[in-house]
């Protein structure tokens, strides 16, 4: 900018200098012309006075190289000329100045030499005797005048340019200096050139706009960071070259990344062939999904292509933890297979017995035994179907009606239900504790107490003892069912709550067990937000403690 201002000043100075030189020369020349003309006229006047007194002898005495005096007769013939004398030269009647002198008393004219370097000024005046006396002088033309002054002009131009250069340099620096010191952070606080006010106002407006937009972007960015930070699902934003733009903490955890992978290529961070293919497919089709297990959990990776104005700008990878869903699906499949199997066994027993009776292959005295067998199997089927229904109700987490239930009462009811079986096995059943009310679903709470008592009697040998104890604590009710039975091996304790899991299958079936009793207990306790703990020793007995918050 400084250079531009400098150049402009120099150019303006040059133009002004040139114009003023031309104008001054013009004026000077015309002034000199006028002065010369006036001089010539005065000379002629003096000459005429002397000529009228002395006649031609005066002209003959003039020895001037500067002036040329010509005396012209009334017919235009030259009577005397200070250069040629009386020698005849051409008739001057047609010369402009002579013609005018004859016509109006005086006349003047200028004529240039062939080379245009010289100019001759003529002045003629009519005398009293009718003849004309003419004086002429040769001077340099404008060109020669200018040429003659070229040196001083050049010197003036040079000096002017040097001075202009110095001044222009200072001026341009002085003009630019405040501009360099402009504080664009506070445009309106600058007090320099008034002409800059509109520009500074505009900058200030733009600055305010940018500031607002920046704030909005920062707000959105913070909001976005907070949202993706709170997400349980993993989220990775990837640009079209595969570089990670954003990754949320959940995704970092899934890929077990200690440091941020932002700016790195995603497939170098997560080197997986299947993922590479998935991303390629998403790039081509717009969407792709895969399921993979990592560190014992199942994840679903969903990649979606992102487009803007018809152009692919990247992709977004969402990672869902589908472990529970996968497990539930697996459990459901296994449960269906197990239920089918469990239903088939008693049905086959019933069918077999029925076929034998139908084909009269059973002695009449044995028929009642077979019918008893059919009843037992049918009873097992009913119990199984009831347990399955109860479990599916619990699975669906259907809302069931809650009421205040006294656990001690339920324990008494359950002990009564198992009393016959216990009596047959000579097992002593003891119910102790204080009345303890909790708010819950009565039939589920009964299932808990009954299944535990039923198991205790089932898995206790003759002459054993079963104790049911209810304790009313401040915030929870505690149900403890202990037996002196066969006990559960340590390695099985964790599995006894699985559906259809039995430690000893034949023993369970013998006693009419479905393998679903403890599953129902687990779900029913969970429904009431309670906890279960099992303590058991093989050959000595089992204690199961249920704590349910009031
Ligand atoms: P089941 O209908 O076979 O009793 P459960 O789900 O009620 O099924 O119990 C699962 C398994 O846990 C039983 O098959 C049994 O092996 C074991 N079990 C449960 N309660 C006891 C107990 N009190 N003593 C010993 N083993 C038990």
Strands 428-433 and 437-440, bridge-based pairing: unpaired
Centre of ligand 1 from the C-alpha of residue 487, in Å:
9
**Is 456's C-beta closer than 6 angstroms to any atom of ligand 1?**
yes
Nearest Cα residue to 144 out of 257, 238, 29 = 29
CA separation for the pair 132, 107 (Å, rounded): 10
**Is 454's C-beta closer than 6 angstroms to any atom of ligand 1?**
no
pLDDT at 335: 86
Minimum-distance ligand 1 atom for the alpha carbon of 451 = 7
Structure confidence at residue 136 as a pLDDT band (50, 70, 90) = very high
Nearest Cα residue to 125 out of 101, 97, 157, 109 = 101
Among 394, 518, 520, 521, which residue has the most ligand 1 atoms within 8 Å of its CB, making it the best to mutate?
Answer: 518
Among 496, 501, 537, 538, which residue has the most ligand 1 atoms within 8 Å of its CB, making it the best to mutate?
Answer: 496
pLDDT at 326: 93
Determine which residue's CA is closest to atom 8 belonging to ligand 1. 515
Nearest Cα residue to 252 out of 317, 304, 306 = 317
Rounded mean pLDDT, 495-507? 87
The end-to-end CA distance of the chain, in Å, is: 85
The count of other CB atoms within 10 Å of the CB of residue 394 is 20
**Is 357's C-beta closer than 6 angstroms to any atom of ligand 1?**
no
Contacts 24+ apart (CB under 8 A), 511-514: 511/458, 511/459, 512/376, 512/379, 512/380, 512/383, 512/458, 513/455, 513/458, 514/342, 514/380, 514/383, 514/384, 514/387
pLDDT digits (tens, 9 = 90+) for 277-293: 999 999 999 999 999 99
pLDDT at 134: 93
Min mean pLDDT across 259-263, 428-432, 445-449 is at 259-263
The count of other CB atoms within 10 Å of the CB of residue 523 is 20
CA separation for the pair 430, 456 (Å, rounded): 12
Centre of ligand 1 from the C-alpha of residue 463, in Å:
19
Structure confidence at residue 116 as a pLDDT band (50, 70, 90) = low
pLDDT at 88: 67
Rounded mean pLDDT, 507-518? 80
Residue 77 has pLDDT above 80, yes or no: yes
DSSP track, 459-476: TS-TT-EEEEEEEE-SSE
Rounded mean pLDDT, 203-220? 94
Please give the C-alpha separations between residue 153 and each of 15, 31, 32, 148, 167, in angstroms, as whole numbers. Answer: 14, 19, 18, 9, 20
Determine which residue's CA is closest to atom 14 belonging to ligand 1. 502
Rounded mean pLDDT, 69-94? 86
Residue 450 has pLDDT above 80, yes or no: yes
| Token duo for residue 301 | 């990776």
The strand ranges marked E within 92-149 are: 106-112, 118-126, 132-140
How many Cα atoms within 13 Å fall on the side-chain side of residue 227? 8
CA separation for the pair 97, 123 (Å, rounded): 6
Minimum-distance ligand 1 atom for the alpha carbon of 512 = 2
Residue 399 has pLDDT above 90, yes or no: no
What does the radius of gyration of the chain's CA atoms come to, in whole angstroms?
64
pLDDT digits (tens, 9 = 90+) for 156-191: 888 888 888 888 888 888 888 878 888 888 888 877
CA separation for the pair 159, 155 (Å, rounded): 6
pLDDT at 87: 64
**Is 520's C-beta closer than 6 angstroms to any atom of ligand 1?**
no
pLDDT digits (tens, 9 = 90+) for 315-339: 999 999 999 999 989 888 888 888 8
Structure confidence at residue 396 as a pLDDT band (50, 70, 90) = confident
**Is 346's C-beta closer than 6 angstroms to any atom of ligand 1?**
no
Handedness of CA 404, 409, 415, 418 (dihedral sign): negative
**Is 427's C-beta closer than 6 angstroms to any atom of ligand 1?**
no
Please state the pTM of the whole predicted model. Answer: 0.55
Residue 243 has pLDDT above 70, yes or no: yes
Centre of ligand 1 from the C-alpha of residue 307, in Å:
59
Centre of ligand 1 from the C-alpha of residue 478, in Å:
21
pLDDT at 143: 67
**Is 521's C-beta closer than 6 angstroms to any atom of ligand 1?**
no
pLDDT at 385: 93
Strands 428-433 and 465-472, bridge-based pairing: parallel
pLDDT at 239: 95
Residue 454 has pLDDT above 80, yes or no: yes
pLDDT at 314: 95
Q: Which residues of 250-283 are buried (b: 16+ CB within 10 A; e: fewer)?
A: bbbebbebeeebeeeebeeebeeeebeebbebbb
pLDDT at 418: 93
Nearest Cα residue to 321 out of 234, 258, 257, 259 = 234
Residue 24 has pLDDT above 90, yes or no: no
Structure confidence at residue 83 as a pLDDT band (50, 70, 90) = confident
User: Taking a C-beta distance cutoff of 8 angstroms, is the pair 252, 264 a contact?
Assistant: no
For residue 360, count CB atoms less than 10 angstroms from its CB and return exposed for 0-12, middle for 13-18, buried for 19 or more: exposed
pLDDT at 30: 85
**In sequence order, which residues have a C-beta less than 8 Å from that of residue 529 and are 6 or more positions away?**
548, 549
pLDDT at 224: 93
Residue 142 has pLDDT above 70, yes or no: no
CA separation for the pair 158, 145 (Å, rounded): 20
pLDDT at 115: 67
């Amino acid at each position: 900018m400084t250079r531009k201002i400098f150049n402009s000043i120099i150019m303006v100075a040059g133009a002004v200098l040139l114009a003023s030189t031309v104008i001054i020369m013009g004026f000077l020349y015309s002034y000199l012309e006028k002065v010369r003309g006036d001089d010539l006229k005065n000379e002629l006047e003096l000459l005429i006075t002397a000529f009228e007194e002395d006649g031609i002898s005066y002209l003959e005495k003039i020895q001037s190289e500067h002036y040329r005096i010509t005396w012209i007769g009334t017919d235009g013939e030259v009577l005397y000329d200070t250069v040629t004398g009386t020698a005849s030269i051409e008739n001057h009647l047609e010369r402009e100045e002579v013609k005018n002198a004859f016509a109006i008393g005086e006349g003047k004219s200028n004529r240039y030499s062939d080379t245009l370097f010289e100019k001759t000024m003529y002045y003629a005046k009519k005398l009293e005797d009718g003849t004309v006396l003419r004086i002429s002088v040769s001077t340099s033309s404008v060109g020669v005048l200018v040429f003659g002054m070229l040196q001083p002009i050049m010197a003036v131009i040079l000096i002017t340019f040097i001075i202009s250069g110095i001044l222009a340099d200072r001026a341009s620096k002085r003009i630019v200096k405040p501009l360099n010191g402009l504080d664009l952070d506070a445009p309106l606080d600058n007090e320099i050139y008034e002409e800059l006010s509109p520009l500074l106002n505009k900058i200030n407006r733009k600055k305010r706009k940018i500031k607002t937009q920046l704030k909005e972007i920062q707000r959105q960015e913070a909001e976005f960071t907070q949202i993706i930070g709170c997400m349980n699902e993993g989220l990775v934003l990837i640009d079209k070259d595969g570089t990670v733009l954003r990754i949320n903490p959940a995704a970092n955890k899934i890929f077990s990344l200690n440091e941020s992978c932002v700016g790195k290529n995603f497939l170098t961070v997560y080197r997986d062939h299947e993922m590479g293919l998935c991303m390629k497919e998403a790039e081509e089709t717009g969407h792709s999904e895969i399921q993979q297990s990592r560190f014992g959990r199942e994840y679903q990776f969903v990649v979606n292509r992102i487009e803007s104005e018809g152009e692919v700008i990247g992709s977004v990878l969402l990672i869902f933890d589908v472990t529970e869903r996968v497990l539930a699906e697996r459990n459901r499949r296994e449960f269906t297979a197990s239920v089918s199997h469990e239903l088939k066994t008693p049905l086959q027993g019933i069918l077999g017995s029925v076929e034998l009776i139908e084909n009269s292959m059973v002695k009449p005295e044995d028929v009642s035994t077979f019918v008893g067998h059919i009843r037992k199997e049918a009873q097992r089927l009913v119990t199984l179907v009831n347990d399955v229904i109860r479990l599916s109700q619990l699975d669906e987490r259907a809302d069931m009606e809650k009421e205040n239930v006294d656990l001690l009462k339920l324990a008494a009811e359950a002990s009564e239900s198992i009393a016959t079986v216990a009596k047959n096995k000579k097992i002593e059943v003891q119910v102790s504790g204080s009345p303890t009310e909790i708010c819950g679903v009565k039939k589920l709470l009964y299932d808990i107490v009954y299944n535990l008592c039923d198991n205790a009697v089932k898995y206790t040998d003759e002459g054993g003892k079963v104790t049911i104890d209810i304790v009313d604590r401040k915030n929870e009710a505690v149900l403890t069912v202990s037996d002196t039975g066969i006990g559960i091996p340590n390695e099985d304790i964790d599995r006894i709550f699985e559906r259809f899991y039995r430690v000893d299958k034949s023993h369970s079936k013998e006693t009419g067990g479905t393998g679903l009793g403890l599953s129902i207990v687990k779900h029913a306790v969970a429904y009431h937000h309670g906890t279960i703990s099992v303590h058991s020793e093989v050959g000595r007995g089992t204690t199961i403690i249920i704590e349910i918050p009031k």
